[in-house]
Structure 1
Amino acid sequence: MLKSNSKAASVSFKGVTKIYGTDVRAVDNVSLDIAAGTLVTLLGPSGCGKTTTLRMIAGLEMTSAGTVHIGDTDVTMLPATDRDVSMVFQSYALFPHMSVLENVSYGLKFSGFGKTETKERALAGLELVGLTGYGNRLPSELSGGQQQRVAVARALVLEPQVLLFDEPLSNLDAKLRRKVREEIREIQQKLGLTVVYVTHDQEEALAVSDRIIVMNNAVIAQDGTPRELYEEPASRFVADFIGEANILKCQIKTVKDDVAKVVLGDYKIKLPSRGLKPGHTFLAVRPNRVHISADVNTVGISGEIIRQTYVGNHLELTIKTAFGEIFATSSNVDSKYEIGAEVRVSFSDKGPVLLHE
């Protein structure tokens, strides 16, 4: 059986830049620290620099400036073959002519293990990913989810210092994606692995990560826990990219003791100032933190229901207001809001956050 990985190492970038050609900056002066034994996700839209960052950890791309450390070792100039990392690719990259057991054993043959130990470790890897008894099958005889698990087992048996995942679930359907991501997280925690995980799927990142590093335009937009990023986004980009958010223009009237008095028309609320000063700015509020009242005399923003959708376990509502359209969800599926009805919109005490640009 594979045991907890005592080799798991930290990853550190110091001022790393990657330039393609003469002026295309794929990664621009990025510094980050990933603690040993944690799962950290690089999240962002296409072209933000997340995959290039992952490939520089792997040694598949070399830095244009800055340094990369794995544990206490400066690996900046080391090729991929001299770095103790394993990578699980989006395409799985299984050898079609080899059996499942041969695929999982492949890397072990070049790592100094004897024939008996190689087989034992490969079988332990298959057991860990729930594929005991599948060793003699060919990849073509497996489902997509099973092929992905073979790719994970092949990487795990090498017990690398760092395990890298590049969009590992993008080829799977939604239900299977949820199952496999849970399995990856369970294995990571069980073995104490250092995992760097790249995805553009926000829900996937929130589900598996100890920390998420959100990237945009080749730099880090925000770094924090899933809860911090969801509940306390630092900018309009992060608020809009991680989950759904209503981003509304507002005005800070006063700030005292880090508490801001904020107004949206006649609606007045108090929020943590987050270092902002009086003046015009934006706030973000999640759809499930929006309250709708049919009583137009209650405190809130005046609005009109323009769309209502029943999606089983909740209602989705769009309200037209002077501050733009506000999207809200309600768990009270028995409520019926007429299109065109006047309502008042207010926010939960905990939920709205002021945003930096």
Structure 2
Amino acid sequence: MSTTFGGRAASVRFDRVTKAFGDFVAVDSVSFEVDAGSLATLLGPSGCGKTTTLRMIAGLELSTAGRIWIGEHDVTGLPATRRDVSMVFQSYALFPHMTVMENVAYGFTVSGTPKAEARERAEQGLALVGLKGFGARLPSELSGGQQQRVAVARALVLEPEVLLFDEPLSNLDAKLRRRVREEIRDIQRSLGLTVVYVTHDQEEALAVSDKVIVMRNAAIAQEGTPRELYEQPADRFVADFIGDANLVEAEIRSVDGDLARVSIGGVEVRVPGRGLPVGRVLAAIRPEAVLLEGQGGGGLAGTVRKAAYLGKHLEYTVDSPVGELFVIDRRIDDPRPAGAGVAIRFGDRIALVPDAD
């Protein structure tokens, strides 16, 4: 009997997969690949098709068209019971009348695995998620974060080729979400698991993923590494959805190699040109790239409309000639009150986006 988990990770591949419910198309000709041993996140707003896509990997929904592969196996028509996949649900889906140990061992119990082996595997799973010694408790005696770990352990012990997470942290508070997502990522890396993860939380997706697949209106808007999506968004939607961005009209004045000389309201910056030609463009300016100084300091003249102290930084809403700007300022000892006049400059966290319309 194996005493470790992992080692059977498989890739996932969608080839022009469509899922329709009557006349409603939930997923429209989607193609992507998740490498074995990597973590990919399906990210997008509610109703974009990400959860339906995840359920098609699991076999909980069967595709209307296209092909799905797990490893070298075409699983398009196979039900969930014939796919080597485990899923961790948003609601945890623990049996309230069973102990933690019984919940984790449930998959072995229903498959007829000897009790001693099932218990040993469950104990190994609980130890892996930091819950050694919790086996005799009921789920109601655990915190939300601990219940989520039990759900993860129950999925892990089955050693699936692919492990799926459906909004796993949405029921946790912000501080606990950060800790549990780090634990999930650590387990995934240490065991070399293939994980497909669904969330609508951009920060969560950027923090845990090798690849992020952004979905919009049942299709893929863009896929890439977190850095690629943040720094090189394909269009207005991705720029606005991945992290906070101030989207303002700008003009490329000239291009020199990989850099473009860009005018934003008359203030010039040099940023990666992304192969775009001279002319009108959209600039996605990250909040930390808006630099505020006292009046008379050059740049654009603006006025602070709102100011908020958030401990590690200050957040401002600033009226400017190029529109309302959201600003994050780490200089907490130099606050600027609402109504204060400021000079606005721009740093280098600016991404040019092809569509300015």
Which TM-score band (shorter chain)? over 0.9
Q: CA 1:336–1:95 in 2, change beyond 3 Å: closer, same or farther?
A: closer
> Map of 1:82-161 to 2, 5 A cutoff?
82-111=82-111, 113-161=113-161
> Map of 1:1-357 to 2, 5 A cutoff?
2-22=3-23, 24-111=24-111, 113-298=113-298, 300-348=299-347, 350-357=348-355
Deviation per residue, 1:292-322 (Å, 9 max, x gap)? 1215252x22222222222222111222111
TM-score by length of 1: 0.94
Asked if structure 1 preserves the Cα contact closer than 8 Å seen for 2:5 and 2:159, the reply is: no
Asked if structure 1 preserves the Cα contact closer than 8 Å seen for 2:10 and 2:161, the reply is: yes
Q: Secondary structure in 2 aligned to 1:153?
A: helix
Deviation per residue, 1:101-149 (Å, 9 max, x gap)? 1111111134463322211101101111111111111212222111111
Asked if structure 2 preserves the Cα contact closer than 8 Å seen for 1:94 and 1:103, the reply is: yes
Asked if structure 1 preserves the Cα contact closer than 8 Å seen for 2:5 and 2:157, the reply is: no
Deviation per residue, 1:236-293 (Å, 9 max, x gap)? 1112112111111112233453433322232122332223223322101111111112
CA distance in 2, matches of 1:324, 1:59: 47
Deviation per residue, 1:8-52 (Å, 9 max, x gap)? 000000111111112x11111111010011111111110011000
CA distance in 2, matches of 1:328, 1:307: 10
CA distance in 2, matches of 1:93, 1:156: 15
CA distance in 2, matches of 1:11, 1:64: 18
> Quick one: which amino acid aligns to residue 7 of structure 1?
R
CA distance in 2, matches of 1:208, 1:265: 36
Q: Secondary structure in 1 aligned to 2:324?
A: strand
Q: Secondary structure in 1 aligned to 2:221?
A: strand
Q: Across the two proteins, how many residue pairs are aligned to each other?
A: 354
Asked if structure 2 preserves the Cα contact closer than 8 Å seen for 1:308 and 1:337, the reply is: yes
> Quick one: which amino acid aligns to residue 354 of structure 2?
H
Which stretch has the larger CA shift, 108-117 or 323-332? 108-117
Which stretch has the larger CA shift, 29-38 or 127-136? 127-136
Shift of 1:338: 4.4
TM-score by length of 2: 0.94
Asked if structure 2 preserves the Cα contact closer than 8 Å seen for 1:264 and 1:301, the reply is: no
Shift of 1:214: 1.0
CA distance in 1, matches of 2:258, 2:173: 45
Which stretch has the larger CA shift, 42-51 or 334-343? 334-343
Q: Secondary structure in 2 aligned to 1:313?
A: coil
Which stretch has the larger CA shift, 225-234 or 160-169? 225-234
Which stretch has the larger CA shift, 271-280 or 252-261? 252-261
Unaligned runs of 5+ in 2: none
> Quick one: which amino acid aligns to residue 87 of structure 1?
M
Deviation per residue, 1:63-118 (Å, 9 max, x gap)? 11111000000000111100000001111111112111111111113446332221
Asked if structure 2 preserves the Cα contact closer than 8 Å seen for 1:2 and 1:125, the reply is: no
Asked if structure 2 preserves the Cα contact closer than 8 Å seen for 1:259 and 1:272, the reply is: yes
> Quick one: which amino acid aligns to residue 157 of structure 1?
V
Q: CA 1:2–1:166 in 2, change beyond 3 Å: closer, same or farther?
A: farther
Q: CA 1:297–1:133 in 2, change beyond 3 Å: closer, same or farther?
A: closer
After the TM superposition, which parts of structure 1 deviate over 4 Å for at least 4 consecutive aligned residues? none
C-alpha RMSD of matched pairs (Å): 1.6
Q: Secondary structure in 2 aligned to 1:125?
A: helix
CA distance in 2, matches of 1:211, 1:119: 35
Unaligned runs of 5+ in 1: none
> Quick one: which amino acid aligns to residue 341 of structure 1?
A
**Matched residues, percent identical?**
61
Shift of 1:218: 0.8
> Quick one: which amino acid aligns to residue 124 of structure 2?
A
Asked if structure 2 preserves the Cα contact closer than 8 Å seen for 1:246 and 1:284, the reply is: yes
Deviation per residue, 1:325-354 (Å, 9 max, x gap)? 111111111214244333221111x31111
Asked if structure 1 preserves the Cα contact closer than 8 Å seen for 2:313 and 2:331, the reply is: yes
CA distance in 2, matches of 1:220, 1:308: 36
